[in-house]
Amino acid sequence: MALTLQEVRNNCARARRRMADARAQHWAFGAFNLDDQATLKAVALAAQKTKAPVLVEVSQGEVDDIGLMNVRDLVDNVKYEYGVEMYINLDHSPSVEAAKKAIDVGYEFIHIDVSQANHDATDEEIIAATREVVEYARFTGALVESEPHYFGGSSNLHTETIDYEEIQKTFSTPEKMKEFVEATGIDTFAAAIGNLHGKYPVPKKLDLGLLQQLRDAADCNISLHGGSGTPGHYFESAVKIGVTKVNINSDMRVVYRQTLEKVLVDNPNEYSVAKLLNKYVVPAVQAVVEEKLTTFNSAGKAVV
């Protein structure tokens, strides 16, 4: 059922207040990708058990598979069923048009990332698209997130090691961040400090000194994409510095698949895959989410 405009605005206003709370109280929202209903249930159960606020996020591929409005309805149903504080984030929206559609159906968080669809997008093109989404989002109050360049990696399990000399070329700089925030009016800046999409054979390393410089450079929220495969102490330090949103996807997907593969082998005569998902996969993914929420210092911070 579609939300009324006033309900959407109320949700967005609350989300905005809660991001301010996160920054003031030094905790971060975990933003967890929604692959299917089992994943959503795992996130909801983790949020319920830890009493933590959460974001459920969908990329364009997940939007295409599930549907913008279906995601809105699924999250609203789960939110009320489990009594949790939960919002929706549109992750890496490749176009202004796609971002506007998500704003129209009431998503509280919007990440516009035209460089994902066009890695060669110019600074001017990225700024213009981002500013257009910021202006449009004022109608509902949705929070807009972006960054001035393409963010590498993918949400798969990678076999190659991380070439830090290469990814350092795309690290955020305080000067560029300040310019971008002022030029676009975004609410949240997606920082690049060693975080990288996907899960790799070696742990990721975050440049916390650079993160502090970014925090000092502009008065906006800061997010970290590509949080999977990162030792927890980095996040504990990051939230103290002022990060208020951390995206997690690959850690969940790897556990989901590995658990499902094992239980299918262990239960060759069970053809109700949904039963196996609920009994084994959901708890496995839930455990991953719970660990992240504790690391982000968001456990116990929910306001329902």
CB 140 within 8 A of CB 161: no
- Which pLDDT score is estimated for 106? 98
- Which pLDDT score is estimated for 215? 98
Please state, for a pLDDT cut of 70, what percent of the chain lies above it.
Answer: 98
pLDDT in tens, 256-279: 999 999 999 999 999 999 999 999
pLDDT in tens, 211-223: 999 999 999 999 9
**For residues 20 and 8, what is the distance between their CA atoms, to the nearest angstrom?**
19
Residue ranges of E strands in 176-240:
188-191, 197-199, 221-224
- Which pLDDT score is estimated for 165? 77
Catalytic residue among 91, 113, 187, 207: 91
5-295: CATH homologous superfamily? Answer: Aldolase class I (3.20.20.70)
**For residues 194 and 164, what is the distance between their CA atoms, to the nearest angstrom?**
8
- Which pLDDT score is estimated for 154? 67
**How is the chain split into domains, by residue range?**
5-295
Low-confidence stretches of the chain (pLDDT < 70) are: 152-155
**For residues 233 and 225, what is the distance between their CA atoms, to the nearest angstrom?**
16
91 tagged catalytic: yes
Would you say the C-alpha torsion 54, 206, 126, 218 has a positive or negative sign?
positive
93 to 1, 101, 242, 293: CA distances (angstroms): 23, 10, 24, 25
**For residues 93 and 91, what is the distance between their CA atoms, to the nearest angstrom?**
6
- Which pLDDT score is estimated for 153? 64
Q: Which helix (H) or strand (E) holds 145?
A: strand 143-146
